[in-house]
Structure 1
Amino acid sequence: MDLIITFSIILFGVFLFVRDYFSIDTTSILIMAMFIVAGVLSPEEGFSGFNNPATITLGCIFVVSGGVFHSGILEGLSTKIVKIAKTNYLIALIVFCCISGFFSAFINDTAVVALLLPIALKVCRETNIKPSKLLMPISFAALFGGTCTLIGTSTNILISSYAKKYNVEEFGMFEFSGAALCLLLIGFAYIFIIAPFLLPKNRDENDDFTKKAESYITELFIEDDCKDLNKVLGKSQLVNDFHVNVLSILRNGVLKHSFGLDTRILKGDILKIIVPPETLSQLLNFDGYTVKGNNRMKVAEEKFKSFNLYEVIIPFGSSLSGASLKEINFRRQYNSSVIAIRHRGQNKFDKLTNIKLREGDMMLILGQAEEINNLESNSLIVRLSEYEKKKTNYRKAIPAVLIGIGVILAASLNITSILVSAMVGALLMVLTGILKPIEAYKSVEWKVIFMMAGVLSMGTALEKVGGASLIADFIKESLGQYDAQITLSLIYLVTFISTNLISSKATAALMAPIVITLSNAMSISERPFLIAVMFACSLTFMTPMSYPTNTMVYAPGNYKFKDFLKVGTPLNLIIWISASFIIPYFFPFNTN
């Protein structure tokens, strides 16, 4: 009975992952809770994912990575990157991909792409390069870089943890770097030679996105004969009939940006609004309002100058994701107004308050620099416009880099485990003052931590009820006539297809116990199968939702879903075939 319940919960979880009803971390925790409530796992077994070495190691790596990232050492390269990349398209492509790939091997890949995005867009604005020709390759390069070291991605750490759990020797820091670099070279050859012909030549709509929104913005002066006088905004004709979004109110010389639909409209108020073009002409003929252009508006215009438009993107792990502007109470909480959203490839300029924000959504925010900086420092947004190089703090940058190198060397030379070296590195980042404790907490992508803890319960449940053995026996019987290399190739194929449909962490948690059991049944080494799962989970290029970095470049590159299929599918097939030969070469099946 437990076996049926376990498979039912897993299938239900896969359905939730594919349909995207909830965020990935919420779905993962829900699956864990269902296993506990159904009695498949005890509470101790269900929550064991939180004290799993993989989860703890990953949390510490986030802190170490955050210390290096926040020191500004990477941003110190931005001027040189822009100067070299402006030479021509091919040079820009090579420079950005190499930087993305190299740093993603040691630092959180989403942070690397978040840093490179505004720099790449700056290069695009100053040259004739279209963002669509550059941003997708940057994301793909980050995925290749992440497979090169144990700490490159959370999936690598997760698979290594499973190996230890099943009494298989853990992977070393650079143990699979040889195989990964071979795939990286093949992937980069595709990106540099073939991808430029497949990448779309999309017109850069980012400027149009901003200009169109700006064209909807104007100011209104409230006359004494206005029909909306003394009415609250929520019951005014301005909001209900003309569908106006009030961005700010200038009242008695004081600029108010924090207000709600219960705020009253008073005589003499000057409202900064965004109005749909189809109702603007009607508003011009509406008694009681004077539209921008009148002399009395000049003073207001000076006041409004402190607020600028900022193009931003919601990064992976942002707490803004999954909620609407209304639920967040965005205007009052952040003293800023969202005037446009590019959501899943569509530009939205009205009825924004109820749109559920998602990672990768672009927003146009009207606000002050201080508030935008605050949003960015809390990792809620990544600013795409007005990129400015931040000054590198070498007093923090040099110790941060040395600590990062120390963590890598300690683990790679087998001085200690990656868990211990990462923990010591994280503590040193705080004790040396490179990160304040609150900054260390913010460096951890808690969404990934909760997702890891949740999906680990699937592997635990599958193992406990004998599901892993059942599936492994089925695979062995079905593929028994084939040799180990063909079996590995089919495992890789199933894994990367699954990863494009559901979370890479969920796929890894399901496949790891299955392939370990399968390799034992076949009396061959577990390592090539684990490496295959590891690579297949990370090297996913076919959809914008298959990996966070793909999601991040989706809106700024003005891509369509089909663009990822067109460019990513051939690359996934090439890497699949290549991996089928490269992995066994570096990791033989023979255990002797």
Structure 2
Amino acid sequence: MTVEIAIVLGLLVAGMVLFATEALPADVTALSLLSALVATGVLTPAEAFAGFGSEIIILLAAVMVLAGAVVKSGVLDGLGRLAHRVGGGRPRGALLSLLMLSAGSSSLFSNTTTTAVLMPAAIETARRAAISPSRVLMPLAFASMLGGAGTLIGTSANLAGSAMAERLGLQPFGLFEFLGVGAAVALSGLLWLALPGFALLPARRPVAAGDGAEPRGFFTTLGLAEGSAMIGRTVAEAGFDAFEADLLAVERDGERLAPHPARKLREGDRLIVRATRDGILKLRRSPDVVLEPDLDGARAPRDEAEPVLAEAVIAPQSRLAGQTLRRTGVFDRHRAVVLAIWRRDRSRPARIENLRLRAGDLMLLEAPEDEVVRLGASPDLRVLSRVDAAVVTRREGGAALAAMAAALLLGAFGVVPLSLAFLVAVLVVVVAGNLDMAEAYRVIEWRLLVLIAAMSGFGLAMQDTGAAEYLAGYVVGLAAPFGPLAAMAGLSLLTVVLTQPMSNAAAALTVIPIAVAAADGLGLDPRMLAILVTLSASMSFLSPLEPACLLVYDAGRYRFLDYVRAGLPLTLICNGLLLLLVPLVWG
């Protein structure tokens, strides 16, 4: 073992520990590893930072912009109704059509977005079939994860794997190269979920009458602003419908009053409302009402950069569970203000500071950007996404969707490179006035781009120093008595295991160099192994830590072991199919 190999392997172990413990944000860990490689002379600065100029980074950023504009416009809101029509009113048919729609949508949009959009339809499907929502919501999240594997832009792991393959001297992956295998695996997984696997899904509670309602009903408390036009008006005249909000109760002089349509609002009233996320943003911009955190002055300090909005969910087994916002000091320490809380089965009015938090609670919060990053690194909380307060109209979203479709066609038929097609699509949408650049920059998940670029540099170091070949020697030695198929199964299993402490993209970027280096000793095609590892990274359903699974965690009243029981067979089925199909297509 050379000194350079020892350095790279030492950094690899340190990086895996940091990823697993989340002592640092994932992007900071990746940049730290890359900096250490340059500082020790393992890589030159040009080699280390070449990943930031990768074609894949441009492509991924452009996809984020177009997909973000489409989702924010509400163009996809009709997907749930489509699922009901396709299912023909039959409960099992509606479930299967819903899962297929989820898988298909996630081939273009993130699985978190797809799950959020289709949750109302999933709950309505459960209500019509008279079954518990917990038997529908977990399959919905799993289906969104299955569908992303079919296209290059479906998951960040696919794009990251393509970037790594190219840096290792292999041909990058094509836009629809995975479509056949991805569709076969996804369809098998969906049939398992809808038929025999359905028996493994927990039935946590009977479906309630109101479960088909808008699932993003955030609770918050409002005060009436000084000089508010609502003062003196009745509840019916106040116009809460325009804010996508329902008034649940009026607190006045220590009493809680019912929101009777004829009741007049007075100065000093506190209003407990339930609203969609966009409704909360509209209420916040209104001159007539003030969100209670703003009213009480519980704001992030203004002596720093403008705070940002984000959605965060309480993680399973979080230490915050059982505490109230009033008692916990976590958000104060991070200079964060919780503006509203979403909880699926909360129908009685309650002030959010008095709610006892529980796993799966979704919070709309405001904090300085660096504190949002630190909150996301906490084991108690998962930051799902930044929230852009800007509004995208349906016309603008339709223009972005059309530009995205055109880019897909031009790239698929090789008219222009895929990255150029998507970049030009973004420019067309911006120049046409359907999206401004400031909004485009806000939609991009910069931390993911940094993670992929930095870890691709680390993968290059593993290859160039011989560290990947060194580890590959152990893989070949262990697998030699059992044959190439056992080695492939070992690489697939290693990738799945690493997705638990690491992101799917980071796991793929870690294992691909080892797989490529082991190819010659195993007598296998290196690109085939890179594809196997890449697809395996998206086929792990063992825990609720994937953002799409966290979204449904509270709504389905799930426990951690529910995911192991229902997800383990699905993980084995999907990865078993990959072991059969990937060598057949690419071997």
Query: 2:503, 2:162 → 1: CA distance?
Result: 18
Query: Which residue number corresponds to residue 580 of structure 2?
Result: 581
Q: Which of 70-79 and 181-190 deviates more?
A: 70-79
Correspondence 1:27 to 2:12: no
Q: Does the CA-based 8 Å contact 2:407-2:421 persist in structure 1? A: yes
Correspondence 1:292 to 2:255: yes
Query: Which residue number corresponds to residue 356 of structure 2?
Result: none
Query: 2:132, 2:30 → 1: CA distance?
Result: 37
Secondary structure of 1:402's match? helix
- Alignment of structure 1 residues 405-444 onto 2, 5 Å: 405-444=405-444
Query: Which residue number corresponds to residue 10 of structure 1?
Result: 12
Query: 1:122, 1:330 → 2: CA distance?
Result: 38
Counterpart residue type for residue 74 of structure 2: G
Query: 1:153, 1:560 → 2: CA distance?
Result: 26
- Displacement of 1:21 after TM fit? 2.7
Secondary structure of 1:309's match? strand
Q: Which has the larger radius of gyration?
A: 1
Query: 1:415, 1:433 → 2: CA distance?
Result: 26
Query: 2:135, 2:490 → 1: CA distance?
Result: 32
Secondary structure of 2:433's match? coil
- Displacement of 1:137 after TM fit? 1.0
Q: Does the CA-based 8 Å contact 2:91-2:125 persist in structure 1? A: no
Sort the Cα spacing of 1:304 and 1:586 in 2 relative to 1 into closer, same or farther, 3 A.
Answer: farther
Unpaired runs of at least 5, structure 2: 212-218, 230-251, 258-262, 279-292, 344-349, 353-362, 368-383
Query: 2:30, 2:472 → 1: CA distance?
Result: 24
Query: Which residue number corresponds to residue 457 of structure 1?
Result: 457
Sort the Cα spacing of 1:391 and 1:457 in 2 relative to 1 into closer, same or farther, 3 A.
Answer: closer
Sort the Cα spacing of 1:89 and 1:30 in 2 relative to 1 into closer, same or farther, 3 A.
Answer: farther
Sort the Cα spacing of 1:329 and 1:542 in 2 relative to 1 into closer, same or farther, 3 A.
Answer: farther
Correspondence 1:354 to 2:327: no
Q: Does the CA-based 8 Å contact 1:155-1:504 persist in structure 2? A: yes
Query: 1:342, 1:205 → 2: CA distance?
Result: 23
Q: Does the CA-based 8 Å contact 2:388-2:442 persist in structure 1? A: no
Correspondence 1:156 to 2:155: no
Cα deviation 1:459-478 (Å, max 9, x = unaligned): 12212321011112232233
Sort the Cα spacing of 1:465 and 1:397 in 2 relative to 1 into closer, same or farther, 3 A.
Answer: same
- Displacement of 1:416 after TM fit? 2.7
- Displacement of 1:419 after TM fit? 1.9
Sort the Cα spacing of 1:311 and 1:408 in 2 relative to 1 into closer, same or farther, 3 A.
Answer: closer
- Alignment of structure 1 residues 116-515 onto 2, 5 Å: 116-121=118-123, 128-203=130-205, 291-292=254-255, 304=269, 306-310=271-275, 342-344=314-316, 346-350=321-325, 351-354=327-330, 363=342, 380=386, 393=394, 395-515=395-515
Cα deviation 1:275-326 (Å, max 9, x = unaligned): xxxxxxxxxxxxxx973269xxx9877754655135879xxxxxxxxxxx99
- Displacement of 1:89 after TM fit? 4.2
Secondary structure of 1:538's match? coil
Counterpart residue type for residue 152 of structure 2: L
Sort the Cα spacing of 1:442 and 1:88 in 2 relative to 1 into closer, same or farther, 3 A.
Answer: farther
Query: 1:434, 1:123 → 2: CA distance?
Result: 35
Q: Which of 146-155 and 37-46 deviates more?
A: 37-46
Query: 1:252, 1:175 → 2: CA distance?
Result: 60
Query: 1:362, 1:119 → 2: CA distance?
Result: 21
- Displacement of 1:541 after TM fit? 0.3
Query: Which residue number corresponds to residue 381 of structure 2?
Result: none
Query: 1:533, 1:342 → 2: CA distance?
Result: 31
Query: Which residue number corresponds to residue 516 of structure 2?
Result: 516
Q: Does the CA-based 8 Å contact 1:73-1:397 persist in structure 2? A: yes
- Displacement of 1:148 after TM fit? 0.7
- Displacement of 1:23 after TM fit? 3.2
Q: Does the CA-based 8 Å contact 1:496-1:540 persist in structure 2? A: yes
Query: 1:459, 1:512 → 2: CA distance?
Result: 8
Counterpart residue type for residue 308 of structure 1: V
The alignment covers a number of residue pairs equal to 489
Query: 1:179, 1:586 → 2: CA distance?
Result: 8
Sort the Cα spacing of 1:143 and 1:168 in 2 relative to 1 into closer, same or farther, 3 A.
Answer: same
Query: 2:73, 2:224 → 1: CA distance?
Result: 40
1:61 aligned to 60, 63, 80, which one? 63
Counterpart residue type for residue 330 of structure 2: N
Sort the Cα spacing of 1:124 and 1:303 in 2 relative to 1 into closer, same or farther, 3 A.
Answer: farther
Query: Which residue number corresponds to residue 380 of structure 2?
Result: none
Query: 2:254, 2:63 → 1: CA distance?
Result: 54
Cα deviation 1:514-555 (Å, max 9, x = unaligned): 22222244453223212211111011100112x332233223
Sort the Cα spacing of 1:127 and 1:525 in 2 relative to 1 into closer, same or farther, 3 A.
Answer: closer
- Displacement of 1:563 after TM fit? 0.9
Q: Which of 64-73 and 436-445 deviates more?
A: 64-73
- Displacement of 1:343 after TM fit? 4.6
Cα deviation 1:77-110 (Å, max 9, x = unaligned): 3444467779464244223211110111122332
- Displacement of 1:118 after TM fit? 4.5
Query: Which residue number corresponds to residue 554 of structure 1?
Result: 553
CA RMSD across the alignment: 4.3
Secondary structure of 2:506's match? helix
* TM-score normalized by the length of structure 2: 0.72
Query: Which residue number corresponds to residue 346 of structure 2?
Result: none
Identity level (%): 24
Secondary structure of 1:524's match? coil
Query: 1:170, 1:475 → 2: CA distance?
Result: 24
Secondary structure of 1:308's match? strand
Sort the Cα spacing of 1:156 and 1:343 in 2 relative to 1 into closer, same or farther, 3 A.
Answer: closer
Query: 1:538, 1:502 → 2: CA distance?
Result: 12
Secondary structure of 2:160's match? helix
Q: Does the CA-based 8 Å contact 2:488-2:529 persist in structure 1? A: yes
Cα deviation 1:368-393 (Å, max 9, x = unaligned): xxx98999xx954699xxxxxx9973
Query: 2:63, 2:436 → 1: CA distance?
Result: 16
Cα deviation 1:238-296 (Å, max 9, x = unaligned): xxxxxxxx9777899889xxxxxxxxxxxxxxxxxxxxxxxxxxxxxxxxx973269xx
Query: Which residue number corresponds to residue 527 of structure 2?
Result: 527
* TM-score normalized by the length of structure 1: 0.71
Sort the Cα spacing of 1:438 and 1:293 in 2 relative to 1 into closer, same or farther, 3 A.
Answer: closer
- Displacement of 1:54 after TM fit? 2.2
Query: 1:341, 1:500 → 2: CA distance?
Result: 18
Q: Does the CA-based 8 Å contact 1:143-1:538 persist in structure 2? A: yes
Query: 2:208, 2:50 → 1: CA distance?
Result: 45
Unpaired runs of at least 5, structure 1: 210-216, 218-245, 256-288, 314-324, 384-389
Secondary structure of 1:21's match? coil
